[in-house]
Amino acid sequence: MKQFRSMTYPYVLWITAIIVVPMLLIVLYAFSSSGNDVLTFRFTLDNFKRFVTDPVFLSVLGRSLYIALVTTVICILLGYPIAYVIAQLPERNNTLMVLLITMPTWVNMLVRTYAWMGILQDNGVLNRLLGVFGIGPAPMIHTSFAVILGMVYNFIPFMILQIHTSLAKMDHNLLDAANDLGANPVRAFLKVTLPLSVPGVISGITLVFLPAVSSFFIPKLLGGGQYVLVGNVIESQFLTSGDWNFGSAISMIMAIIIMISMYLTRKADLSAQNAGKE
């Protein structure tokens, strides 16, 4: 046992260096004020007050939550049917489809987002295709549509895989039992399949909503800098304005929102699992 513990020390040191120390620095900067390029360790809440009292920053936060929520809902509506169909396929085809779903994630997300910039341009592939049918060119790039589309494209594989995992692990004898008791396919789905897949849906929500609400390069590229979300504000505070104190305060606010979201989704996941056991 002592030898096993000693093997964990390098991992503990590594986690401390790349996670704990940066988080402590963010907390330090958030509750500090700066002046003349010197950090003064004076406790202050001014950075937080600035954010919650400025209607511009609050509107950016509201927009970020709205975009993340819309992205998550679309991923559920599109991802659940896809995951359900894949789960019904034979094992060989099932594996192939899962591979096809995960293949885009092998390419860096930034590269994939740049590709969508070319597709959504006024003279891009999509508008040229619409032109064949006498439609367009329709303004797509640098709009909320482009931002949501980019987020859905990048995050939907996580939703599909989580739901598929829940459906694949489901005991199909339960469906046979429901059929024997006179349930039609729709009722069997609503009473058996859907409740058992809820944990996968909740896990998918976690993996989609959390990165979507804090994303910065997708709205920056597809929104053209005209569609600002919280992630873009944090980036500008650190890299452009040089106000690390205010940027750290916003980061802490987002961290709190993310932790609350994780707590709620975890609680919903446990409730769904307990209901499934009953």
- Pull the structure tokens for residue 105: 């994630």
3-state secondary structure of 39: strand
64 CA to centre of own chain:
12
Query: What's the pLDDT score for residue 125?
Result: 83
The CATH fold of domain 55-277 = MetI-like fold (1.10.3720)
Among 52-66, 94-108, 118-132, where is mean pLDDT lowest? 118-132
Q: Which amino acid is at 266?
A: R
Is the pLDDT score of 272 beyond 70?
no
On whether the CB atoms of residues 254 and 232 are closer than 8 A, the answer is: no
Mean pLDDT across the stretch 126-135?
81
- In percent, how much of the chain has pLDDT > 90? 23
**Cα(202)–Cα(263) distance, rounded to whole angstroms?**
12
- In percent, how much of the chain has pLDDT > 70? 92
* Banded pLDDT at 204 (limits 50, 70, 90): very high
213 CA to centre of own chain:
7
- Pull the structure tokens for residue 96: 């192939």
Over residues 184-198, the pLDDT tens digits come to 888 888 888 888 888
* Banded pLDDT at 80 (limits 50, 70, 90): very high
Is the pLDDT score of 17 beyond 70?
yes
Q: Phi and psi for 142 in degrees, rounded to 5?
A: 65, 35
**Cα(226)–Cα(9) distance, rounded to whole angstroms?**
46
Is the pLDDT score of 207 beyond 70?
yes
* Banded pLDDT at 2 (limits 50, 70, 90): low
Is the pLDDT score of 266 beyond 90?
no
Q: How far is CA 53 from CA 47, 57, 58, in A?
A: 10, 8, 8
**Cα(38)–Cα(103) distance, rounded to whole angstroms?**
48
> Comparing C-alpha atoms, which of 210, 212, 218, 195 is closest to residue 271?
195
Over residues 153-168, the pLDDT tens digits come to 999 999 999 999 989 8
On whether the CB atoms of residues 216 and 235 are closer than 8 A, the answer is: yes
Mean pLDDT across the stretch 214-233?
85
* Banded pLDDT at 124 (limits 50, 70, 90): confident
Rounded-to-10 torsion of CA 104, 105, 107, 113: 80
Can you give the C-alpha Rg of the chain in angstroms? Answer: 23
**For the chain, which residues make up each domain, given as ranges?**
55-277
> Comparing C-alpha atoms, which of 254, 258, 247, 262 is closest to residue 25?
247
Task: Identify the residue with better confidence: 178 or 75.
Answer: 75
**Cα(196)–Cα(175) distance, rounded to whole angstroms?**
11
Query: What's the pLDDT score for residue 162?
Result: 93
Longest CA–CA span in the chain (Å) reads 77
- This prediction has a pTM of 0.84
